Amino acid sequence: MIVTSPAEFLAAYTPERYPLQAAATARAVFLVAPHGFALAAESATDNRYMQMSGETDPARALTQHAALAAALRSCVPTIVFPGDAATPDAVFPNNVFASAPGRLIVGAMRHAVRRREAMRADIRGFFRDLLGCDIVDLSTQALVAELTGALAVDRARGIGFCGLSERCDMEGARAMHEAFGLKLTFCFPLARGEYHTNVVFAPLASRAAIIAPEGFADPAAAEAIAQVYAPHVLRLDAAQKAAFAGNAIALSPDTVWMSARAAESLRPEQCAALADWGFALRSVELGEIEKAGGSLRCCVGEIF
């Protein structure tokens, strides 16, 4: 079922109808190293988080990314694929490649610089030949669907939360609903200037959520989503959203990851709330990579 209004979503969702049945967190993750790190001007046309006015330091980006991979390995098996200077946004692979049990999903990207990433034979081959996955290729279809950038998935419940923007249209939302095998998808417009849902909303192991209400065109959509996770809802202000505190991910039932900048933006009572809900907060310095308009969650492709 796909719904497009807060009222429809609240009418469709009940805990009894959508119980916690599947794994809430990934069994492994994959990253793409920022080799030849640079800012893609094409992507900046609809990503206001990119810092186009400053210089980038490719060596610093590689160092930060290596530290991220090392930190994640303490929590979950972590694979790193090489980057390519011809695809500078490839450091954010979750928008192009995502998985569901037995499937690799390849996204349909808005920008040509990102569509080149979708053709990578090594990532496709890893999932197809090593993990035995079928490939669901959306990249050849007449739609826009930037996977787990646009679609935040509550894996245990089988519910998708899809923010519509230049990076995802309704046809893309329908294609992702089918590709991920979801039971319910709530589609809603993001606020003007927002490009991806995963900057304004993060479900945490299907039992809590971080949400930035001002990132939604309709505040009622944010509140409808919050009702699924209440009272375990961390609401962000505008400054925290800009610091990428919404770009977080739970990679185990008891750990939440975000960048150092994002973690530093949280107030003491918010950190205490995460701890009370059973989550340890882990962070990694990603200031150089964040110049490209994404943060820690964007760097992480999940393997289910």
Concatenated DSSP letters of the chain: -EE-SHHHHHHH--TTTS---S-SS-SEEEEE--TT----TTGGGS-TT--TTS---HHHHHHHHHHHHHHHHTTS-EEEE---TT-GGGG-GGGTEEEETTEEEE-B-SSHHHHTGGG-HHHHHIIIIIS--EEEE-TTSSS-B-HHHHEEEETTTTEEEEEEBTTB-HHHHHHHHHHTT-SEEEEEEBPTT---GGGTEEEETTTEEEE-GGGBSSHHHHHHHHHHHTTSEEE--HHHHHTTTTS-EEEETTEEEEEHHHHHHS-HHHHHHHHHTT-EEEEE--HHHHTTT--HHHH-EEE-
Is 70 exceeded by the pLDDT of residue 48?
A: no
pTM: 0.93
* Paired strand residues for 134: 103
The pLDDT value given to residue 52: 57
Q: For residue 229, how many other CB atoms are within 10 A of its CB? A: 19
Average confidence (pLDDT) over 213-240: 98
The pLDDT value given to residue 101: 97
Which domains are assigned to the chain? 2-303 (3.75.10.10)
Average confidence (pLDDT) over 31-38: 88
Tokens matching residue 16: 């009894």
Is 80 exceeded by the pLDDT of residue 39?
A: no
Q: Which residue has the higher pLDDT, 88 or 252?
A: 252
Per-residue pLDDT reduced to its tens digit, 14-23: 999 999 999 9
27-31, 153-157, 166-170, 237-241: which range is least confident on average? 166-170
Average confidence (pLDDT) over 58-75: 96
Is 60 exceeded by the pLDDT of residue 50?
A: no
Query: For residue 197, what pLDDT band results from cuts at 50, 70 and 90?
Result: very high
Query: For residue 42, what pLDDT band results from cuts at 50, 70 and 90?
Result: low
Q: Which residues of 6-29 are buried (b: 16+ CB within 10 A; e: fewer)?
A: beebbebbeeeebeeeeebbbebb
Query: For residue 107, what pLDDT band results from cuts at 50, 70 and 90?
Result: very high
Query: For residue 44, what pLDDT band results from cuts at 50, 70 and 90?
Result: very low
The pLDDT value given to residue 180: 98
The pLDDT value given to residue 47: 59
